[in-house]
Structures are given as C-alpha cells and as structure tokens.
Amino acid sequence: AQTVTQSQPEMSVQEAETVTLSCTYDTSESDYYLFWYKQPPSRQMILVIRQEAYKQQNATENRFSVNFQKAAKSFSLKISDSQLGDAAMYFCAYFDYKLSFGAGTTVTVRA
C-alpha cells in the first residue's frame, strides 16, 4: 500500500514571506500523480497543484510551486508571497488508482 508522510503538523509564516511544506511518499510504481489540496476552515477541499510523475519539470500555479524529486520520493510545496487567505490545512496526496492522503499540515499566516 502506498503511504504519504507529511512530517510538519503545523507551519507559521509571515505575510508576504515564503513557506515550504514537506511531503514524502512510498511507491513501487513508475507512473502516478501527486497533488496538493488546500482545506480552509469551510472544510472544502480545493485542488492547489498537481504533478505528473513522468514530467521532470516542476509544476507551478501562480504563487504555488512544487519541488518534485522522483528518486527521493519527495514532493514539497512552496507558497510564495504568503497571503492571509492561504491560511488552511494542506494535504499532500498520491494517486495511482486511488487517492491517498498525508496527515496534513496546518499553515497559519501572521499579519
């Protein structure tokens, strides 16, 4: 079974600064997807960014970017120019035929 590990239960960042969230996963597959989801206090699950394992180029979506290290099975999320609206729980997720989630990292943004 695939496992996804997020080792940082909580992270705090100053507004306009950068924060990086860590994620590692375990798999024997060569083709899969990785995702980061955001869950604000409303509970809604919002897709932030995705990475296809066969792509070497790291995905970027506006202020969100990933550092995908396939050999190391690492998939970190960088939030640049943090805004108050970025405060949420962030989940790393791995997909090959189902979506498996890490435990989540709570991000707080200080004004």
Please pick, from the candidates 12, 26, 47, 83, the single residue that binds other proteins as defined by CB under 8 A.
47
- Nearest approach, Cβ of residue 88 and other proteins (Å): 14
For the four alpha carbons of 111, 16, 106 and 90, in that order, the dihedral sign comes to: positive
Under the binding rule (CB under 8 A), the answer on residue 11 touching other proteins is no
What's the closest the beta carbon of residue 64 comes to other proteins, in angstroms? 14
Backbone angles phi, psi at 108, to 5 degrees: -110, 145
CB atoms within 10 A of CB 84: 10
Output 28 or 97, the one with its CB closest to other proteins. Answer: 97
Q: Is 96 in the site for other proteins (CB under 8 A)?
A: yes
Interacting residue with other proteins among 11, 20, 22, 50 (CB under 8 A): 50
Classify residue 30 as exposed, middle or buried by CB count within 10 Å of its CB (0-12, 13-18, 19+): exposed
In the three-class reduction of DSSP (H, G, I as helix; E, B as strand; rest coil), residue 52 is classed as strand
In the bound state with other proteins, the residue whose beta carbon lies nearer, of 86 and 94, is: 94
99 CB-near residues (< 8 Å, 6+ apart): 35, 93
Give the interface with other proteins as residue ranges (CB under 8 A): 1, 4, 6, 9, 31-33, 35, 37, 42-45, 47, 50, 52, 91, 93, 95-104
